[in-house]
Chain A
Amino acid sequence: MAVAAAAGTALGWWGVPLGVVAGAVRVSTPFLFVSLGECLTERSGRINLGLEGTLVMGAMTGYGVSYLTGSPWLGVLAAGLVGAVFGATHAAFCSLPRVNDIAIGIALMLFGIGLAFYIGKPLIEPQAAMLPSINLGWWSSVPPLRDALRVNVLFLIGVVLAPALVWGLKNTRWGLILRTAGESADAALALGYSVNLIRLGATMAGGFLAGIGGSFLSLYYPGSWNERLSSGQGITAVALVIFARWDPMLCFWASILFGGAGAFGPALQSVGVTEGYYLFNAAPYILTLLIMIITCSPRRTLTGAPAELSITRS
């Protein structure tokens, strides 16, 4: 907050939009990764609510590995792998008969959070190597602007990943097969594909991305490991997928919007507006509600929802 406060003094009200933009980039990154991962999983016809647990596990693992090896990137990779293992566990349970994916997801969420706190106890004190950022504001002499344009590398990867996923779902063999499993298990079976195997792959990929999203929390912003690290970003990101109509590009914009709305309160506070502070912190949720109400219509069915999801399947 110290930086933002400086912005307030140097730039006056301009600090608010700047703060919102910088916040949007920073805060949106975990949303972006988790929602892209969940988007993949849900497009294959399964919901993994366990991503909150995966996120926290990823944060803990990333931090631990970065601390032990000195390389934050190894930490990111390890976080992704742990996420994939969680995804595989979810898929394995779900492929048993009469098992509900939502229930398994909740169980894995609680398990992931508990396990991360348990293993991560010794990691609260030490300082691990952090992820680097790229300075896109080198041309400016205004410190708050430079600060706002300091962009983390994971965000940039996410920026590329979202359109890449859109393209891949449409133009690659894997994309087509994954969508088939999500839209009609019968069709996938008739084509001779194993629906469970496809969903295993999609849930592991989803877990991998969510794990990376978690490593961002501990290795960049806020950049430490403790038990209050995640404030439900995992769950929120799952909701973002519905909001984004299962479209990776819309997931990207939704994450930005959510991140920006989340940064609105702090940015206002930094220029000295303290009244109604809590109200502004609720901005993301109010925004979501508003958009949901505006875009939903009882006359139309929820467009874009994969037909095999347990919430839409009839």
Chain B
Amino acid sequence: MPVAGALGIEAVAMTKRFGDFVALDDVSLKVAAGSFHALLGENGAGKSTLVKCIMGYYRPDQGAVIVGDRERSIDNPRAAHALGLGMVYQHFTLVPAMTVAENLVLARAELPAIVDWRRESEALEGFLARMPFRVPLDVKVSALSAGERQKCEILKQLYLERRLLILDEPTSVLTPPEADEMLGLLRGLSDRGEITVLMITHKFREVMAFADEVTILRRGRLAAQGKVADLTPDDMARSMIGAEELTAAPARLDRRGEARLEIRHLAALDDGGQPAVRDLSLSVHAGEIVGVAGVSGNGQRELVEVLAGQREASAGEIRIGGEAYHATRDEMRRHKFSCLPEEPLRNACVGRMSVAENLAFREFDRPPFAFGGVWLRKSRFREEAEGKIRRYRIKTRSPETPVGMLSGGNVQRTVLARELGERVEVMISANPCFGLDFSAVAQIHAEIIAARNRGAAVLLVSGDLDEILEIADRIVVMFNGRLVHETPAGRADLVEIGRHMAGH
């Protein structure tokens, strides 16, 4: 075990290629011991690739890593762990089917041949008692909410006594208060010289509030580096996107029409068979965005899944344009229904199929993509895909690249391009900006508002209250499977909403 205390790290002239694509081009990064360093960049800029090279998850084509004051060759994550480096990955790496305790013990470097669970539990309880937040030990990770999982990931790193912690977008699944609590804790640890933190994020607010220094990447190259105190969010934004223009949101038109999507007394069960959505009624009008606020894990996921046809309702009904709706493919097409689900790589894409194929899912079996309902025209797929890739600025090497190889943000854009590609009349969108950089967020918000202005009924489910306040016309709060509060966005009272989100 390494001695305690924060560890400095330096990556020198890192280059990483995937085939002939250069994901990282001669990037250097220095993180002083005990500092809190932020790494910024657009989706696909190479942030995750850089830290994965440092952790030995990828092998860089060129470059070196200096840990403390010695150059080290880190061939795999175990070598990095042995040096005291730890990482929380962008996609969760807890094992969902195992309990929290199993996950924590599993991560230890010297896992005993036979695990004495009584002793381990006692040790874990002792450790948790010293921590500012808790997670239940005997619950399977799959039963935890996203926020709890992220806490668990961080607790795991602290439990392993890491001296340098790399976090890849740790707050994208947390509510702002949760994020502040967690980052405050990490900041405290780095102030006391116990750990060094290197954090990837898309949120300037967090950089300004918690980081000492910042490094900004653009298209695989180093774009800027410096002390946070010397920079403004505007400076950082400019370094991130260079000369690119931000998409401006269109002005809101008042086009509120008849009730388009009506949900009546809907109930649904979660994977374990427990009630998740209870007697929920809501209607969304044409030309209106209704924002569903709430802490994640209060039934939002199940609600979206029922609307998307991925889960059966146990009671109640859904009507669109006055007709009963059962989420069949045919009805979706007829009502111009589209859906941007959570975790798009899992819920709305086939990772091993190409970008072009994923873009064509809604329409692949109809003209002009197919004739006679059987033959598919690959060339039309490609043309169509190229157009969407350009319009939605999807960073992919070619339309034939498997979607699973895109960076997190670009997977999201791919789904958005498909779902917004045609004229939509009803749109369900769950955390559409999860993990997106600010230029992509601006673009997606603009597209959603544009769809609303064209008369679409939009249901926006989001854990990010700021997002809801920004684009929704009407806000409802979901707690424990029910809608507990409703207010027009113009007259929204933050304190009131916060109180309802917490269930008071």
Hey, which bits of chain A sit against chain B, CB under 8 A? 171-174, 176-177, 179-180, 183-184, 186-187, 189-193, 298-301, 306-307, 314
Chain B CB count within 10 A is highest, among A187, A298, A300, for A187
**Which residue of A179, A190, A301 is within 8 Å of B57 (Cβ)?**
A190
Task: Check A179/B98 contact, CB under 8 A, given A171-B117, A190-B93, A300-B271.
Answer: yes
Using known A-B contacts A173-B115, A191-B106, A300-B271, determine if residue A186 contacts B77 with beta carbons closer than 8 Å. Answer: no
Residues on B with C-beta less than 8 A from A180 are 95, 98, 106
Contact across chains for B114 and A299 when beta carbons are under 8 A apart = no
CB distance from A195 to the nearest CB of B (A): 12
Q: Find out whether the CB atom of B312 lies under 8 angstroms from the CB atom of A191.
A: no
Is B253 engaged at the interface, CB distance under 8 Å to the other chain? Answer: no
CB distance from A164 to the nearest CB of B (A): 12
Complex-state Cα separation, A174 to B115, whole angstroms? 10
B91 within 8 A of A: yes
Q: Mark B273-294, 1 if CB is under 8 A from A, else 0.
A: 1000000000000000000000
Name A186's contact: one of B87, B91, B113 (CB within 8 Å): B91
Q: Which 4 A-B pairs have the closest CB atoms?
A: A192-B78, A192-B77, A190-B93, A187-B93
State the CA gap A131–B310 with chains docked (Å): 53
In the assembled complex, which residues on chain A have CB atoms less than 8 Å from the CB atom of B113?
172-174
B48: min CB distance to chain A, Å: 13
A192 touches B81 (CB 8 A): yes
Task: Give the nearest-CB partner of A314 in chain B.
Answer: B346
Known: A189-B57, A190-B57, A192-B81. A173 touches B111 (CB 8 A): yes
Contact present for A307 and B81 (CB under 8 Å): no
**How many of chain B's residues have a CB under 8 angstroms from any CB in A?**
32
> Contacts A190-B89, A300-B273: A183 and B97 contacting too (C-beta < 8 A)?
yes
Q: How far is the CA of A176 from the CA of B105 in the complex (A)?
A: 9
B74–chain A nearest beta-carbon distance, Å:
11
Q: Report yes or no: B97 in contact with A307, Cβ–Cβ below 8 A.
A: yes
| Bitwise interface map of B from 299 to 343 toward A, beta carbon under 8 Å scored 1, else 0 | 000000000000010000000000000000000000000000000
Q: Is B188 an interface residue (CB 8 A)?
A: no
Cβ-based interface call for B209 (8 A): no
A171 touches B114 (CB 8 A): yes
Inter-subunit contact B269/A299 (CB<8 Å): yes
Residues of chain A with a CB closer than 8 A to B96's CB:
183-184, 307
| Complex contacts, B346 vs chain A, CB 8 Å | 314
Cα A11 to Cα B269 in complex, Å, equals 53
Closest chain B residue, CB of each to CB of A175: B115
A241 to chain B, nearest CB (A): 16
Residue with the greatest number of chain A CB neighbours at <10 A, chosen from B93, B107, B312, B346? B93
CA of A193 to CA of B81, assembled, Å: 12
Check A191/B98 contact, CB under 8 A, given A171-B114, A186-B93: no
B94 within 8 A of A: yes
A172's partner among B79, B94, B114, B269 (CB-CB below 8 A) is B114
> Could you write out 29 A-B pairs with CB less than 8 Å apart?
A171-B115, A172-B114, A173-B111, A173-B113, A173-B114, A174-B113, A176-B98, A176-B105, A176-B115, A179-B98, A180-B95, A180-B98, A183-B96, A183-B97, A186-B93, A187-B94, A189-B57, A191-B106, A191-B107, A192-B78, A192-B79, A192-B80, A298-B312, A299-B312, A300-B271, A300-B273, A301-B271, A307-B97, A314-B346
Cα separation A192 to B87 with both chains bound (whole Å): 12
Task: Tell me the smallest distance from the CB of B152 to a CB of chain A, in Å.
Answer: 12
**Are the C-beta atoms of A176 and B102 separated by less than 8 Å?**
yes
B77 lies within 8 A of A184 (CB): no
- Determine if A176 and B106 form an interchain contact, defined as CB atoms under 8 angstroms apart: yes
Residues of B within 8 A of A171 (CB): 114-115, 117
Interface positions, chain B 245-275, Cβ under 8 Å from A, are 269, 271-273
Q: Does B112 contact A (CB under 8 A)?
A: yes
Contact at B273–A299, with CB atoms within 8 Å? yes
For B93, list chain A residues within 8 Å (CB). 184, 186-187, 190-191
State the Cβ distance, B93 to closest chain A Cβ, in Å: 4
Map CB proximity to A onto B94-128 as digits: 1 under 8 Å, 0 otherwise: 11111000100111000111110100000000000
